[in-house]
Chains A and B, each alone.
Chain A
Amino acid sequence: MLNFLDVYERVLKGPLMSEQDFDIKVFIPTLRRVVKEYGIQYDKENPVPNDDAATDNLFDAAVDFLSQVGVYCQDTNRVIQFSKDEILDAVHEAPGKCFAGEGKDAGVFGMRKPDDGKTPWLHVGSGIVATSEEMITNLIEAYGSIAEVDSISISALDSIRGIPVMAGSPAEIYAAIRGVKIGREALRRAGRPGLPIMNLISTAAAAVTTIAASAPQFGLRPTDGWLVGAISEMKIDFGAMNKSAYLLNWGANVGAESSPILGGYCGGPAGTAVVSTAYILMGLLVQKGSYQLTFPVHFRYGCSTTRDVLWVVSSSCQAASRNIPMPVIWLGYMAGGPNTKSYFYEAAAHLLTAVTSGAPSVQTPHPAKAVKIDGITPMEAKFGVEMAIAASKLSREQANELVIQLLEKYESQIETAPTGSTYQECYNITTSKPGDDYLRLFNEMKDELADMGVPFA
């Protein structure tokens, strides 16, 4: 097994090249070759494909691609290279499960296969969606109060005492510490103090912020989940590696994070599916993740619910869940915001796609491309949980038919999807209850989906 220091040595000794040469002379031509040689083809008619041989072929393509391209380190301008054998060894040695949480709220986050009837690990919360300090306690308490929830993401604070939080600044450290203290306190209020927080620290641009917020007096534990992000595409830097170095020494759960971009260096859906799968391998090898968080997005629309991105999610999710024992949280960005029909259609499509494709875990689909401040409420979390449980009762074939119907409802308006309401606009801030309008829309949408064939409990 290659340990973290073995990988670090390669950061210092791998082939030297400019980042531009890596992108244009290595990444793009290798990806084009692999897509062609392995015959990876986007199937526009079937956003949730159902071909295990094609899925395993995609895994083989991803191994080949990673063994030829490697991972670029921006700080040393060197490529970390892995042989095919080393990649496959890492796959064989992967435990395929992650222990998270404490006491009665602890659980084992394990694997699922495509068409698996098992309920996925239900990860709930808003992660990168920035939230006002006044709203955050209500929001997290509500997440923790959903009985089926296995783990949560806490919101990013957009300011601290009115001072905007700037990445890598002292305000970021203040905001991270304040955020985790509020998060843990809110979970106590929900009666679930041991519930793992799995997005630490989602907005920490600097490793020092993650390390500062991990001090025990602020209430976090190694059994929470700590994110270490890759840089798109197939890159890493010392900031991320410093986080891994610290977290591995502590014995904490490292969550390797990735976001392949359809339309960027990956090109179209076929190339993006290869890279999306390769990122799961990179998470095992480089960040040394015990789990992964991934969210493929479309470069133009900024969301994960276009037909081609759904196909990428399904294909790479199947390739990973059949071949790589790494528990992955599949997250989607929706174009529509809270309190809109578009959100519900998109979220249903994304969850049907991921869950039936074998996603070990799904997270609350993020409304309004995750960029609307206070643009998330507990209602989306509740919907995500109910929808994921329902989706686990369906096959890929059934999900495919439903996703095609859902695409007909939102696909043509995705560019102009409404960003919806803020928490303050559709929730009572004092009682933390949804307004009548949103409650009515929620029930209407569930009825409509049930009529289409979604087997809600």
Chain B
Amino acid sequence: MNKEQILENLATAIVDGDDDMALESARAALDAQLDPLDAVDQGLSKGMDIIGEQFQSGEVFLPELLMAASAFKAAMEILKPEIELQKKEIAKQGTVLIGTVKGDLHSIGKNIVGTVLETKGFDVVDIGIDNGALDIIQEAKKVQADVIALSCLMTTTMPAQKEVIETLEEMNLRDKYFVIVGGGPVTPEWANEIGADGYGESAIQAAELVKELMDNK
């Protein structure tokens, strides 16, 4: 199998969400002495771009994204040790701490955003639902987050997004993190009113926003 075929198979494994094919193709890449970073950039990431576009256009949904992310992780288990052995580094996109705010038990929108961010190469730390302001900030410090992404689905939990920003200000930590907000009732006006760094209406927009913020950091 030549290099192009192996890279193509890596991309296909991601698009099909096929863990076995991802593992097999990653092993084939190393056997053929491909640069493992090329296998990631030109194979796995290409597949992630394709599945991202399909998600954006409504051809696939969250299950397919999750399966793609799983195949990506499977291939990385083979490729990552070799990358480290060769003392190379995968370019870091940044760390995003994502969670639903206090009083809100909704998680699906947040999970979709987290998965899309992972497919774009960000390290995502998902702290789940019903998180108080202080807990969110302490966790952000712990994982050295670049971005705090706050989700809510109810008008009665929107004030909790504001509380996180106010608490960051009170602790003189506001400049340390980008804070973005999203969820059903959230609007760009609300994001602006509470002093957030941005708002994404869809998961794809949220991922683009994070990338833009990190590029301009």
* A residues lining the B interface (CB < 8 Å): 23-24, 28, 32, 74, 128, 130, 156, 158, 164-169, 172, 203, 205-206, 231-233, 237, 239, 261-268, 271, 299-300, 302, 369, 371, 373
Shortest CB–CB separation between residue A168 and chain B, in angstroms?
A: 4
Q: State how many angstroms separate the Cβ of A415 from the closest Cβ of chain B.
A: 9
Question: How far, in Å, is B184 (CB) from chain A's closest CB?
Answer: 6
> What residues on A are CB-neighbors of B102 within 8 Å?
166-168
B83 at the interface (CB under 8 A from A): no
The answer to whether A267 and B63 touch across the interface, beta carbons within 8 angstroms, is yes
How many angstroms from the CA of A24 to the CA of B105 in the assembled complex? 19
B140 CB to nearest chain A CB (Å): 21
Of all chain A residues, the one with the shortest Cβ separation from B187 is A371
In chain B, positions 13-63 with a C-beta closer than 8 Å to chain A are 58, 61-63
A residues in contact with B106, CB < 8 Å: 231-232
A263 to B57, CA, bound (A): 12
Q: Does B202 contact A (CB under 8 A)?
A: yes
When chains A and B are docked, how far (Å) is the Cα of A266 from the Cα of B112? 12
Instruction: Assign chain B's interface to a size class.
Output: 20 to 34
**What would 6 A/B residue contacts be, using CB atoms closer than 8 Å?**
A166-B156, A172-B156, A267-B63, A267-B64, A299-B61, A371-B155
Chain B nearest CB from A59 CB (Å) reads 23
Instruction: Name the residue among A165, A167, A267 with the largest chain B CB count within 10 angstroms.
Output: A167
Chain A residues with CB under 8 Å of B155's CB are 128, 130, 156, 158, 203, 371, 373
Chain A residues with Cβ below 8 Å from B202 are 300
Interchain Cβ contacts within 8 Å, total number: 89
Other-chain residue from B58, B103, B105, B187 in contact with A300 (beta carbon distance below 8 A): B58
Given the known A-B contacts A300-B58, A300-B202, are A265 and B156 also in contact in the complex, defined by CB atoms under 8 Å? Answer: no
A165 touches B156 (CB 8 A): yes
Are B108 and A203 neighbours in the complex by a CB distance under 8 Å? no
Q: Which of B121-160 contact A (CB under 8 A)?
A: 154-160
**Distance between B56 CB and nearest chain A CB, rounded to angstroms:** 9
Interface membership of B109, Cβ < 8 A: yes
B82 in the interface (beta carbon within 8 A): no
Residues of B within 8 A of A299 (CB): 61-62, 108-109, 112
Q: Is the CB–CB distance between B108 and A232 below 8 Å?
A: yes
Q: Which residues of A sit under 8 angstroms from B58, Cβ to Cβ?
A: 263, 300
Query: How near does chain A come to B92, taking the closest CB pair, in angstroms?
Result: 24
Q: Does B195 sit within 8 A of A, measured CB to CB?
A: no
The answer to whether A205 and B63 touch across the interface, beta carbons within 8 angstroms, is no
Known: A206-B103, A266-B61, A299-B62. 8 other contacts (CB 8 A): A164-B158, A205-B103, A231-B107, A233-B108, A265-B108, A268-B61, A371-B185, A373-B155
A165-B156, A232-B108, A299-B109 known; A265+B62 contact, CB < 8 A: yes
Q: Does any Cβ of A come within 8 Å of B209's Cβ? A: no
- Nearest chain-A residue to B69 (Cβ)? A24
State whether A205 and B154 are in contact (beta carbons under 8 Å apart), knowing that A164-B159, A169-B103, A264-B108 are contacts in the complex: yes
Do A264 and B112 have beta carbons less than 8 Å apart?
yes
**Residue B213 CB within 8 A of the other chain:** no
Docked Cα-Cα span, A28 to B64, in Å, equals: 10
Contact of B66 with A166 in the complex, beta carbons under 8 Å? no
> How distant is B158 from chain A, measured CB to nearest CB, in Å?
8
Closest Cβ of chain B to A271, distance in Å, is 8
B104 at the interface (CB under 8 A from A): yes
Nearest CB of B to A272, in Å: 9
Nearest 7 A-B pairs (CB), nearest first?
Answer: A167-B103, A371-B185, A264-B108, A168-B103, A167-B156, A164-B159, A130-B155
A233: B residues at CB distance < 8 A: 108
Complex CA–CA separation, A128 to B157 (angstroms): 13
Q: How far is the CA of A300 from the CA of B60 in the complex (A)?
A: 12
Contact B62 A205 (CB under 8 A): no
The smallest beta-carbon distance between A295 and chain B, in angstroms, is 12
Q: Are B63 and A32 closer than 8 Å at their CB atoms?
A: yes
Are B61 and A264 neighbours in the complex by a CB distance under 8 Å?
A: yes
* Complex: A230 Cα to B102 Cα, angstroms: 18
Q: Shortest Cβ distance from A424 into chain B, in angstroms?
A: 17
Q: Is the CB of A263 within 8 A of B184?
A: no
How far apart sit A24 and B71, CA to CA, in the bound complex (Å)?
13
A300 CB contacts on chain B under 8 angstroms: 58, 202
Residues of chain B contacted by A373 (CB below 8 angstroms): 155
Q: How far is the CB of B113 from chain A (nearest CB, A)?
A: 11
Residue of B nearest to A175 (CB): B156
Q: How far is the CA of A32 from the CA of B104 in the complex (A)?
A: 29
CB closest residue in chain B, given A232: B108
In the bound complex, what is the Cα–Cα distance between A165 and B156 (angstroms)?
A: 6
Give chain B residues whose Cβ lies under 8 Å from the Cβ of A271.
63
The docked-state distance in angstroms from the alpha carbon of A261 to that of B158 is 21
Measured in the bound complex, the distance between the Cα atoms of B70 and A237 in whole Å is 28
Hey, what's the 0/1 contact readout for B141-182 against A, CB within 8 Å counting as 1? Answer: 000000000000011111110000000000000000000000
Q: Within the assembled complex, what's the spacing in Å between the Cα atoms of A264 and B114?
A: 13
What chain B residues lie within 8 Å of A172 (beta carbons)?
A: 156
Residues of A within 8 A of B70 (CB): 24
A156 touches B156 (CB 8 A): yes
CB distance from B135 to the nearest CB of A (A): 15
Among B58, B70, B102, B156, which residue has the most Cβ atoms of chain A within 10 A? B156
